[in-house]
Amino acid sequence: MPTRTVIVIGGGIAGLATAVRLIQHGIKPIVLEKRPFLGGRAYSFTDSDIDSEIDNGQHIFIGACDQFQRYIGDIGASDQIRLESRIEFPVLKGRETSWLRAKKLPGPLANLSVLLGYRHVGIMGKLRILRGMASIKLTRLSANSTLDMVNLDDWLRAHGQDNETIKNFWNLIILPSLNDDTTAVSAYTGIELFKIAFLGSARNPALGIPLTGLSKLVGDNARQFIESHGGEVRTGVNVTSLKVENGRIVGVRTANNDMIDGEAVVSALPAAAMTPLIPGGTVGRDDFFTPAESVKTAPIVAVHIWYDRPVLTENFVAVLDSPLQWVFNDTALKSRTELGQHIVISLSGAWKWQDRSKQELREIFTAEMEKSFPLAKKARVNKFTIVKMLEATFRVVPGSRRTRLPQRTPIPGFYLAGDWTDTGWPSTMESAVRSGNLAAEYIANDIGTGIQSSVVSSGSRQPE
Ligand SMILES: Cc1cc2nc3c(=O)[nH]c(=O)nc-3n(C[C@H](O)[C@H](O)[C@H](O)COP(=O)(O)OP(=O)(O)OC[C@H]3O[C@@H](n4cnc5c(N)ncnc54)[C@H](O)[C@@H]3O)c2cc1C
């Protein structure tokens, strides 16, 4: 039986991954989640009108998301995700569809071969993109690189890119991956993304898809694992402050005034929810935690349309020169056998849409669907829903790297997890899992592990 107990505040992916990794170290986690359900920013809910489960937003991952996939395996859910073998997706521009499809070649050559059959960029543009990729390969990213102070658009233009390549290639990848435009993200993060995705193995940029609702995938499966290995998960528990004894964090106080003790406490919260918990607050202070005050967020709006018949023949399509951005065939992705089709339009960097009414969005997006997918003209819309996530991801604007704090804080007994902490990854499920793994490793180092559990993951590693 575990002899040590650690409190994890937050039942999103970072908190759940922290708990799973603590268990793998023989430490008992108690996860405290404010809301009645787990999953944080990756959850699903049942729409009573149609008795169907809806994700709060389409979540995809790529092959390079190793720790996320290992985490899904650890909680016994590998059969609930699917990873393609290489990158392959259709891109619609006007009425013309062209595929970004990797050929069966070794390593990065496979990823670069996507350009061969891609007709939305001309031959000169393709040469430009190859030049850009070569510059990315030659760029060394060091911890104090000034590239974080430059925006990616400027960097790309300084390395031979033009409007055509930026719009039809670079931003096609950047916008959904970083939830922001090339003009807004730091060159450092953009270069890092392309290094990982396109200059690595053919598996790295391959798209991965959840096959079940997000709450089941990341929430229920984790709860089952944690509880069946001696941990606890308590939902509906709002943590309001940390308990300090002799300068050390030894527990938390909840909104109900309950005290819950532990040998260490992990905040697996977004930055804005973490800072109010710091003893003494951060206002007027200039310390380790101060940069977290500057973490900014970006919205995602998901448009759900239920048609009475199929309108999309592919599983997903990226759309250029249209507000549609990315269109997913949820019916096919979740292998449902309904007669009609549930379409999800995922709008990244959605400032333009976040304040529009449901009726306005319905008019705009049903019309756009008809323009891009002729089958939608004959189809009837049975139901229409919008999910707005105003703080969907943290932004990777120039200068934002300094806002990403390490998982071990200067306050003894207090650790950080959360996608926004320093993981080297943008705001993703992979970053959330990595942050949780790092926090748990630091704790195991600092307070010592309990009895070695039989469930230690092959991915367990010591932090530097
Ligand atoms: C619409 C949308 C689409 C996305 N698409 C993708 C994608 O395609 N691929 C991808 O990899 N990522 C995607 N993301 C990002 C991904 O969901 C996040 O990076 C990840 O879920 C963050 O997890 P987290 O645990 O760090 O934070 P969170 O999920 O925010 O978890 C924090 C938890 O803490 C809880 N909490 C807050 N305050 C308290 C308190 N005082 N006491 C107790 N609990 C508290 C919250 O309720 C929440 O459950 C998307 C996000 C959204 C919103």
CB 306 within 8 A of CB 50: yes
Which run of H or of E encompasses 385? strand 381-394
How many angstroms separate the alpha carbon of residue 6 from the centre of ligand 1?
A: 21
* 5-41+213-295+397-447 homologous superfamily: FAD/NAD(P)-binding domain (3.50.50.60)
How many angstroms separate the alpha carbon of residue 96 from the centre of ligand 1?
A: 36
Per-residue pLDDT at 337 = 84
pLDDT band for position 50 (cuts 50, 70, 90) = confident
**pLDDT tens-digit profile of 336-381?**
888 899 999 999 999 999 999 999 999 999 999 999 999 999 999 9
**pLDDT tens-digit profile of 191-201?**
999 999 999 99
**Displacement of CA 229 from its chain's centroid (Å):** 27
How many angstroms separate the alpha carbon of residue 141 from the centre of ligand 1?
A: 28
Task: Output the six-digit token pair for 350.
Answer: 């959605």
Among 59, 81, 345, 405, say which to mutate for ligand 1: greatest number of ligand atoms within 8 Å of CB.
Answer: 59
How many angstroms separate the alpha carbon of residue 432 from the centre of ligand 1?
A: 8
How, if at all, do strands 207-210 and 52-55 pair? unpaired
As a whole number of angstroms, the distance between CA 99 and CA 60 comes to 18
E-state strands within 255-348: 259-261, 264-267, 297-307, 316-320, 326-329, 341-347
Residue 450 pLDDT greater than 80, yes or no: no
How many angstroms separate the alpha carbon of residue 40 from the centre of ligand 1?
A: 4
Ligand 1, atom 6, lies closest to the CA of 59
As a whole number of angstroms, the distance between CA 388 and CA 302 comes to 6
As a whole number of angstroms, the distance between CA 211 and CA 81 comes to 5
**pLDDT tens-digit profile of 70-106?**
999 999 999 999 999 999 999 999 999 999 999 999 8
| Closest ligand 1 atom number to CA of residue 17 | 25
Ligand 1, atom 13, lies closest to the CA of 428
Ramachandran angles phi, psi of 91, nearest 5° = -125, 120
Task: Output the six-digit token pair for 84.
Answer: 């393609």
Residue 264 pLDDT greater than 90, yes or no: yes
Q: Where exactly does CATH 3.90.660.10 map onto the chain? A: 297-394
How many angstroms separate the alpha carbon of residue 38 from the centre of ligand 1?
A: 10
Residue 462 pLDDT greater than 60, yes or no: no
* Rounded (5°) CA angle 187-156-195: 60
Ligand 1, atom 51, lies closest to the CA of 392
Rounded to the nearest 5 percent, the helix, strand and coil shares of the chain are 35, 25, 40
Residue 56 pLDDT greater than 70, yes or no: yes
The whole-model pTM stands at 0.95
How many angstroms separate the alpha carbon of residue 42 from the centre of ligand 1?
A: 6
Per-residue pLDDT at 49 = 77
Per-residue pLDDT at 456 = 42
| Closest ligand 1 atom number to CA of residue 176 | 8
**pLDDT tens-digit profile of 235-251?**
999 999 999 999 999 99
Task: Output the six-digit token pair for 385.
Answer: 């829903």
- Alpha helices (H) in 37-151, listed in sequence order: 66-74, 107-112, 123-138
Residues having CB within 6 Å of any atom of ligand 1: 9-15, 32-35, 40-42, 56-57, 59-61, 238-239, 268-270, 273, 300, 302, 389, 392-393, 418-419, 427-430, 432
Ligand 1, atom 1, lies closest to the CA of 57
Ligand 1, atom 36, lies closest to the CA of 10
Q: Where exactly does CATH 3.50.50.60 map onto the chain? A: 5-41+213-295+397-447
Which CATH number applies to 297-394: 3.40.50.300, 3.40.50.970, 3.40.50.720, 3.90.660.10?
3.90.660.10
How many angstroms separate the alpha carbon of residue 428 from the centre of ligand 1?
A: 9
